[in-house]
Structure 1
């Protein structure tokens, strides 16, 4: 399984547009093949900061997601709306079995 975590902070005044685009992106992404989950949350200490957590069945599913034109457009929009801080980390994990 692949887990992606990320966060970004909206430029002042861009919070609403960034939130709207983030929700659209998350809802669309959830329907893509290989998406286990895709979530966005707002930081309770900084209302301009959004955090993303995604789970994909494998790296191929994530790479396919990244290549979708809407995903590219979303990334470009986030770059335009951010205060300059975009952070993303990709993890490959082997989930432990429940006893």
Structure 2
């Protein structure tokens, strides 16, 4: 009888160990141990896209270009994958404008390219420009804050 009671006590202890202690250890390890490099899920650091556009506008179309550009700044900034979206006038060169955009990943930028306001800009802007826009897309491998 003593042997059965001892065995039953060990079985209960083993059951407690399996149902409480091991899952608790597993949960603590998730929060306390660092993630391996391959498990890094920081989209901003590993997958972000920067778009830098330089646009030279015909002097007589300057105001029309600014008005057109301003129509899609806020909708672009409201897109879920947009981290930042800025439009500047170059102070060093007349009628030159700059777009500087940061997107969470390539899928977010591709979505932006499908929006009606982007299509409107692509359709209307060539008549306003001196030459085709110079647009570069950069993939971010990482960054550090200074």
1:16-63 deviations in Å (ceiling 9; x for gaps): 010111122212100011000000100112231110000000000000
Look up the SS of the partner of 1:52 in the other structure. Answer: strand
Task: Point out 4+ residue stretches in structure 1 off by more than 4 angstroms.
Answer: none
Q: Aligned pair count?
A: 99
Structure 1: which 5+ residue stretches go unaligned? none
Q: CA deviation at 1:75?
A: 1.5
Match of 1:76 among 116, 123, 142: 123
Q: Any residues of structure 2 matched to 1:81-96 within 5 Å, and which?
A: 81-96=128-143
Q: CA deviation at 1:84?
A: 1.6
Aligned CA RMSD, in angstroms, stands at 1.5
Structure 2: which 5+ residue stretches go unaligned? 1-47
- Residue 74 of structure 2 corresponds to 27
Compare relative contact order (CA 8 Å, sep 6+) and give the higher one, 1 or 2.
Answer: 1
Structure showing the higher helix proportion among its residues: 2
Question: d(CA) in 1 for partners of 2:75 and 2:145?
Answer: 30
TM-score of the two chains, using structure 2 as the length reference = 0.63
Look up the SS of the partner of 1:41 in the other structure. Answer: strand
Question: d(CA) in 1 for partners of 2:54 and 2:72?
Answer: 14
Question: d(CA) in 2 for partners of 1:83 and 1:56?
Answer: 27
